[in-house]
Structure 1
Amino acid sequence: MLKVVIVDDEPKLRQGLQTLIPWGQLGFAVAAAAANGQEALTVIEEEDPDLVIADIRMPVMDGLQLIQHLTAARHRTQFIILSGYADFEYAKQAINYGVAGYLLKPVDTKEMVARVKGVRERIEAEQLQRERHQAEIRDRDWLLHRLLVPQDRAGDPARLRSMAAEAGLLWSSYEVIAALPQAAGPGHSDVLRQLADAWRPIIEGEYRGVITLHPPYVVLLLQEPLRGRQRREKLYLELKSAANGLRFTAATGGGTAAAPDKLSPCYLKARESIEQAFFGEKGRLLGPNPPVYPVPDPEWLSGGSSAGERMEQLIFRLYYSLDAGNHAGVRPLIGEAAATFLLQGQDERGVKESFFFLSNAVIHKQIGNSSRKGIGTEAVSRFLNGIYQYEYLVDLLEETHQFLLALAEDGEPGGKEQELKKMISFIHRHYAENLRLDTLAGLLNYSTAYLGQLFKNKTGEYFNTYLDKVRIEKAKELLGQGMKVYEVAERVGYANVNYFHSKFKKYEGRSPSDYKNP
């Protein structure tokens, strides 16, 4: 039985309509009655009636306001309007909302019966149309699923084209787009339907293509190829606007399919692009080509260094750029690190783990050699753990950049003099490491020869001589503490004890053993 709700502020009329009209014979049952529009809203939300009979003039909320509210809320309810002669002009406004009938008071029973019969026929016709449309969608979705993920890869192309023609899907070209909602849990299927319903008006409603669900994806099949970046960006913005706050990642199939049986490879490419979305461009319709990051030195990558050695070099270069106050060089180094990890074939998890290791090492070096207490361990822990939560590599790079800059010591006034002071300080703190002038020159954006001359002008010594003297002074201190010669050599940065011996004798005029045991 269909449901009807009667809304009128006159109790006698409400009662009369409930008892004088043979509702059961007409296929209806009176679900409820209300005295005004506001009261009716509550009843209608509870009962979801098929027909509402409402007076045009009522206190609190009149019939026209009631219709406006229900129409805006997309209720499929049919309306019959009641009014007096004086309200005819007013009632015509309601007719613009597509009401099923308009009757003058006092209500004629026969006329009401005829109107209700017409409403029932209208409801049944619309229901039949919806059922047919749903059946067509089910048939179309079945075909689309077969085209997107065919059970038999060697299926008959002619048969598939024939089926596509019957479903109205035989077009001259196809563009496949897959969209993955950024949601999880039991409500995921609801989000899929919400996205599909939100996009149908701008895709199917404008005859641009069709939409189907292939969990966990919403699939858009477009008739016109998205040639050019501008058209892709325009469509993405349309989808984002229509999604009304629902977040999603979308990708194209990387090309146009010329026939229905060619859709599957495009769909698989779109899915692959979504799976690699971490490396893609944020806020865009993804494609098969990820962004390009700064390419590391080819000689470095083609050399014999292991992945661990390259990581140590990245840590050193990044830390020294921060420590030397070369903040402009930090962002390119972070990008170079990303490119290095990608060229090593690392996936999303691997890149995040590498950035965790890199950032952790640089942070601990920076904290260990700094008197600043501005950023506490809680902030460091929050940043490091957050590395695994980023959805896009570009966000990870930017946040890493910002955090390391915030962690670095506040720079003193810049200039060559200040840079040289920091360089000298760095040598005194890192003399045991593999310090090279060309490496430091690259980090400070100077040529090796120019930096070498600046350094000699400042210290009166060539770089390597100055470094050797710092190491020898530290070696004398350690020898005086009773350490063995080979231990001291390794501690101050000389891997070869004989080389250490020759350097020590050069600057001190005697061997390390003679110095230790005068």
Structure 2
Amino acid sequence: MRKVMLVDDEYMLLRGLKLLVDWQSLGLEIVNTEQNPILALKYLRNNEIDILISDMNMPEMAGPDFVAAAKKMQPEMELIVISGYSDFDYVRAGLQQNAVNYLRKPIDTDELLATLQGALERLQVHQQQRQIASLAVQTQTRNMVTTDQKMEQQQMIQALDIDFTNEAKVRLVGILNPLPPKDLVNYLSVLKMVKGFYVEGQDFIIVFQGTDVQLNVFIDEAPHQIGAEHRPFLIGAPIKDSTQLHTRYLQLRREIARQYFFETAAGLRIMLLDTKGPALTLPSYSEVKKALDGANLAAFSTWLTQQLDAMKRANASDLLARQFALVVLLVLSDRLTEFDDKPNVIAAINHAKDVSELKAQLQWVAELATEQGTQQFSRNVLAMRQIIQKRYPEQLSLAAVASELHLNAVYLGQLFKQEVGRSFAQFLNDYRVDVAVDLLRDSDQDIGQIAEVVGYQNSSYFYKLFKKQTGMSPGDYRKASVLSS
């Protein structure tokens, strides 16, 4: 519904106008009536109006002065002026302020309907023009920060009137899932400091150029329900020149993902992207295994919460948290004699929308391990496990180990599967991948060399096994470790 405001010092005229036409059928709603133009201006200062119908002769304020002040406050508002006087100076004053028409008292119903229809048509045209212009600016803004093509980027910088030589700083600002988004769009559209913005998913990416004072005003005066108390504002460090735009954008995207993952509900956050803190290190398989050795379910839950809370405080990325969860899963799965859901848990960890989902997956696996109880291995199976753990780089086979232990290979294989829950070959492959996880994190060896170190001459086979075990290729796992640090 379009919003209409009526202003006239004659109460009966105001009442009559309400009854003269079926406003609702026209898609119009009379949201306010005022007899005093000064009070009307006060209302217009804080409330958006689509159509203003006003008398041109009121004792508190001259009609031309009123419509001029009203139009200055809301330039896109449609004006209809009414007067019982034949003095054309008043008519001309109204029309010069872009009044859509001049209506003489007493008002003719058909003339009023035609005038309102014209106003609605113009509002629709203006809305379409604004939408087209807004979409064009949004497209330019998106392309400017996401492209690495310098020539195209420079053209868009000029089109958006961004000046890196100005004392006013250029920053990227992210606002997470503002509700309702329309209020934020209206706010951003009238600010000169906002050079451009666009929506990415449910979040707003804003190019802001202004002083620190203007930045604080921008945050403080944001629509109340969208302000920093209700939605996280992510503010990038000043961008010195166009070469930093794309890098700053990628950093902002990673920070947005981190905020969602660690469930940051609200609060202003200033990203000090030029200042690097101490590097975060992914715990190794052996470190996690040692930490969880002998831990019961309650102790595991406490430890897991502490580890993830520490990552959040240290500004760890969601990538690092997911990798940490995969290492924990590898340790827990080694305790299980029956665990057919490992691929599903890996997929759930890699696609968890937040840290609560990730914790729930690991907690469930830990409960399974507790239900299955502490593993008790026979002397022969224990010997087989020790051989694998000490000599995994060798070309081990069940037949060779059985011969070494002076036992029948078929019998030994069945016994191992019964007690461990995996075949000898499966356990060997899993252990080699566990070792490879630490080597990918700690060593500079290439992936082919790591494959040989853990016992595979065929690196393609190692690649396939590693991805099956962790849900990531060896290269992606190493790359993520670097990025998350």
TM-score (norm 2): 0.42
TM-score (norm 1): 0.40
Specify the structure having the higher radius of gyration (Cα): 1
